[in-house]
């Protein structure tokens, strides 16, 4: 398959998967329950962080958490009482438990007390920061608050050569702007052209079969390499091809 043919093929797959029918069976359905920007950010963050394993379980666990927050995550974050926090006890999704949850609730409370959006947690003070620097900044920012080391495993960083699949997926949700109705595009300080592909085993496998990767490992180096190749197909919006690669990996085994 030539580069031109591959682009045509992938663009068709993007059009097929990037549509509202994609939402209901994907964790992105969780932030789609809300219209308030901060609710979308918070619900989306937890849905993305929980996104490993079976998608139905991820969605159900996210709904469980939202119910514990009275389905008003931003209001809960800012105004919860000690009694309200007791309602979070016992929450668990795989290795993520109440210790991790209570820590993030406290971090978000302090953040949203000072800032209007979670986007600022991804924006270093230096100009022209790279996406790698933004993700590293976010990781360091979150864990600048007092925490137990066990919680660090739930948020990835390029500094450890992680592919940062869940955070990159979250950023795709918040940053990408199109008229298809799936991604939100509510953040404006990061350009779609700078995003990195959310790489997991599905994306790796499909990318190898299509000749986009020769060393298909889910790490930061390979995620950057794959994104560079996808920019050859669309320099302004390379991660739109996540719909094609992930969709084929899950639905067209």
Written as six digits, the tokens of 4 are 């031109």
Provide the 10 A C-beta neighbour count for residue 177: 14
For residue 117, give Cα distances in angstroms to 108, 153, 164: 10, 24, 21
State mean pLDDT over 99-128: 96
Pair type for strands 96-97 and 92-93: antiparallel
Cβ(168)–Cβ(195) under 8 Å? Answer: yes
- Mention every residue, 6+ apart, whose C-beta is less than 8 A from residue 128: none
- The pLDDT of residue 247 is above 70: yes
At 88 the pLDDT is: 97
At 170 the pLDDT is: 98
Q: Report the distance separating Cα 121 and Cα 215, nearest Å.
A: 32
Q: Report the distance separating Cα 55 and Cα 50, nearest Å.
A: 9
- Mention every residue, 6+ apart, whose C-beta is less than 8 A from residue 55: 25, 26, 27
At 215 the pLDDT is: 80
At 51 the pLDDT is: 94
pLDDT, one tens digit per residue, over 29-83 is: 999 999 999 999 999 999 999 998 889 999 999 999 999 999 999 999 999 999 9
Q: Report the distance separating Cα 131 and Cα 21, nearest Å.
A: 30
Q: Where are the alpha helices (DSSP H) in the chain?
A: 3-17, 37-49, 55-68, 73-79, 82-86, 98-114, 131-142, 165-175, 201-209, 220-231, 241-251
CB hemisphere CA count around 16 (13 angstroms): 13
pLDDT, one tens digit per residue, over 162-198 is: 999 999 999 999 999 999 999 999 999 999 999 999 9
């Amino acid at each position: 398959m030539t580069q031109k043919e591959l682009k045509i093929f992938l663009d068709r797959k993007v059009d097929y998967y990037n549509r509202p029918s994609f939402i209901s069976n994907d964790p992105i359905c969780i932030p789609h329950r809300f219209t308030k920007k901060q609710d979308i950010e918070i619900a989306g963050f937890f849905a993305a962080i929980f996104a490993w394993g079976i998608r139905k379980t991820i969605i159900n666990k996210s709904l469980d958490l939202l119910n514990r927050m009275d389905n008003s995550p931003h209001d809960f974050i800012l105004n919860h009482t000690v009694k309200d926090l007791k309602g979070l006890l016992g929450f668990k999704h795989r290795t993520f438990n109440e210790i991790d949850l209570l820590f993030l609730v406290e971090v978000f409370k302090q953040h949203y007390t000072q800032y209007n959006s979670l986007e600022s947690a991804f924006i270093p003070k230096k100009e022209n920061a790279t996406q790698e620097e933004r993700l590293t900044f976010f990781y360091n920012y979150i864990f600048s608050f007092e925490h137990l080391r066990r919680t660090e495993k739930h948020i990835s960083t390029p500094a450890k050569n992680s592919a940062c699949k869940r955070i990159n997926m979250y950023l795709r949700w918040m940053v990408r702007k199109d008229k298809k109705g799936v991604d939100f595009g509510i953040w404006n300080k990061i350009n779609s052209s700078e995003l990195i592909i959310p790489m997991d085993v599905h994306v790796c496998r499909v990318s190898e079969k299509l000749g986009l990767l020769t060393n298909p490992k889910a790490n930061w180096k390979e995620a950057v390499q794959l994104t560079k190749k996808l920019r050859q197909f669309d320099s302004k919006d390379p991660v739109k091809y996540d719909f094609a690669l992930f969709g084929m990996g899950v639905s067209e085994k």
